[in-house]
Structure 1
Amino acid sequence: MRVRPAALWCALVLGCAGLPPATARCLSDCTPRIGIVSAFGAEADLLVAQTRQARTRTVNGNRFTTGVLRGRRVVIVLSGVSMVNATMVTQLMLDHFRIERLVMSGIAGGVNPAHRVGDVTVPERWVMPMEVYWNGEARLPSACGVPGDLACLGLALARQPDGTPWPPYQTWYLRQNFVMTAANAPQGEYRFDYPVDAEMLAVARSLRPPLQRCGPRARTAQGGIDDPQCVKAQPTLVVGGTGVSGTAFLANADYRRYLFDTLGAQVVEMETAALAHVALANRVPYIAMRSVSDLAGAQDLHADAVALFTSGLAEANAAAVTLSFLEAWSAHQASKRRAVRPAPPPARR
């Protein structure tokens, strides 16, 4: 058997040979790290600029930056827009680096009308509602002879906790996704939602990030603030609810209302659920933070949405939450280590 040089170095120097074949990774770097995938280039730049001992590796044209950020060893990469790009880049990261946890960060359209431009959301689960069975009429599909049964096609409708299919959007019936893992092989399983890691979510609930109302470019040459470059309400961190991802850029108010009313969706974008699927397949815990840019499907361009991007507030607030999470995660891990540290032996008298 021929051994790859990277794998041999990994085994001899870092002891990675003990990993089971199904999870063997680190073709380029075997140092345990948190993987940060950003869909927004300006935010990735902010994170990279604050990374100490930064080193860049290019894999298949994608730039991965390793180093130490807020006390954690990380690797940062820009995924680019779309489910396909997020899937490809996330798997590439997991193959070439030893990723213990994944963090996704970027911008999203608002679905919950209660959210304001500039808020940062941390959903507790992600779904892909555009994975659908597009029926010809508004009744349960019967492709396999029984209403709702799609097994003969290798498909499965998504179902609510009570076992019934989700209400359709017009004639779009929500489907589950097939996923194969080392744990469920060889039969695999169908999944509709992808919960984020419970431990990471608990840490996110404790965050008090320094969110700003005005972006860095809102400052004038005289040191003042150009108020039109600021959002009207103070942004807040919102943890919980459902995030949705799909292949379409959503500019449809009717579909946005369907996502909110049916799934309780908070935000919509085009990457995170794809990362979540890859994370599940590779058994890697994940979490995602998304800055709200506007109300998806709104007919008019909101002044706050313009200010969010032109002032640099979108990337600044998203990066602030990511950095705050890394600091809190470091403190959380240190607390766990202290809790399991054995007590010193009693002093002799």
Structure 2
Amino acid sequence: MLVGIIGAMDLEVQALKGLMDNAVVETISTIDFYKGNINGVETVVAVAGVGKVNAAVCSQTMILKYSPDIMINVGVAGGLSDEFKIGDIAVADSVVEHDMDTSPIGDPVGLISGINLVNIPCDKKLADLMEQAVSKVGTITSKRGVIASGDQFISKQEQRDRIKDNFGAIAAEMEGASIGHVCYMNGVPFGVLRAISDGANDDSHMDYPEFVKMAAANSIKIILELLNSINGGKLQ
């Protein structure tokens, strides 16, 4: 099994690249793809860059070049659920593009033209394994639900409220739904796992720089535990 892993920023996947055995690097469309083995699992890891277009280019390229069996988006997010603390984990059961809006012509808010979905479903078995990986780490808690993506850093209460009201989302970031969109079109199972770096509110501009590294480290801990489970055949 080949697992594709995409982060938006280097700090979100740097530790994974450092743990990769027999890494071979290939640059395509300015993106470096690292292919090798992590915890006994064949993986390809890439830094997409921030935003939905960068994420879509990276994920489509990865699929066409490496044909991963599953895709995972890992990184940090702003928490929309009041239950979250900084460093907690959001596991997606579906993803939405919160800035997609053709409602003036009668569509539901968030409807994605072409695939005719608002919520793109994540692979349930993979999401289950992500939650199990969190429990194995032990010092981190998780919540499962909708993760919303858009080309905006959410830092205003009105933005936060709009996304929660429209989609019931538990976290907001800038890439996961774009990767999910590409995976859905290509028939590749995918999952999104995000550590909470801020509250997606008026304090986010202060919280994010302080906590992003800690949150990213938490997400990496979960991914490594997840790869252990995959190596044990739990996704077969």
Q: Give TM-score scaled by structure 2 length.
A: 0.91
For 2:113, the aligned partner's letter is: F
Which of 185, 188, 191 is the equivalent residue of 2:117? 191
Write the mapping of 1:1-349 to structure 2, written as runs, cut at 5 A: 33-133=2-102, 141=104, 143=105, 148=106, 157-158=107-108, 174-179=109-114, 189-207=115-133, 208-210=135-137, 236-299=140-203, 305-309=208-212, 312-333=213-234
* 3-state secondary structure, aligned to 1:192: coil
Q: What is the alpha-carbon distance in structure 1 between the residues aligned to residue 113 and residue 124 of structure 2?
A: 23
Cα distance in 2, alignment partners of residues 300 and 109 from structure 1: 8
Kindly indicate whether the alpha-carbon contact (under 8 Å) linking 1:245 and 1:270 is maintained by their aligned counterparts in 2. Answer: yes
Residue 178 of structure 1 aligns to a residue in which SS? coil
SS of the counterpart of 1:122? strand
Contact kept? 1:111, 1:296, Cα under 8 Å: yes
Counterparts of 1:262 and 1:62, CA distance in 2 = 34
Confirm or deny: 8 A CA contact 1:209 1:320 kept in the other structure.
Answer: no
Higher relative contact order structure (alpha carbons within 8 Å, sequence separation ≥ 6): 2
Matched residue pairs, number?
235
Residue 176 of structure 1, CA deviation: 1.1
Rounded Cα–Cα distance in structure 2 between residues aligned with 1:322 and 1:300: 25
Unaligned runs of 5+ in 1: 1-31, 135-140, 149-156, 159-173, 180-188, 212-234, 337-349
Structure 1 position 251, deviation (Å): 1.8
The percentage of counterpart residues that share the same residue type is: 24
Deviation for aligned residue 1:297: 2.2
1:15 aligned residue: none
Greater helix fraction, Structure 1 or Structure 2 = 2
Aligned-partner Cα distance in 2 for 1:177–1:307: 34
Assess, with a 3 A threshold, how the Cα gap between structure 1 residues 295 and 331 changes in structure 2: closer, same or farther.
same
| Partner SS for 2:137 | coil
CA distance in 1, matches of 2:13, 2:204: 29
Rounded to whole Å, the distance in 1 between the matches of 2:81 and 2:206 is 16
Distance 2:53 2:206 in 1: 29
Contact map agreement 1:100 1:284 (CA 8 A) in 2: yes
The CA deviation at 1:317 is: 0.8
Q: Structure 2: how far apart are the matches of 1:95 and 1:101? A: 13
- Structure 2 vs 1, CA of residues 178 and 280 (structure 1 numbering), >3 Å: closer, same or farther? same
For the 8 Å contact 2:102–2:111, the answer to whether it is kept is: no
Whole-angstrom distance in 2 between the partners of 1:300 and 1:39 = 18
Q: Quick one: distance in 2 between partners of 1:190 and 1:328?
A: 34
How big is each residue's C-alpha offset from its partner over 1:293-334, in whole Å with a ceiling of 9 and x where there is no partner? 11112247556x55423xx31221111111111111222438
CA deviation profile, 1:42-86 (whole Å, cap 9, x unmatched): 132100000111111111221110111112100000011000000
Is the strand fraction higher in 1 or 2?
2
Secondary structure of the 1:57 match is strand
Structure 2 unaligned spans of 5+: none
Does structure 1 conserve the Cα–Cα contact (< 8 Å) formed by 2:71 and 2:188?
yes
- Shift of residue 257, structure 1, vs aligned partner: 1.9
| Counterpart position of 1:339 | none
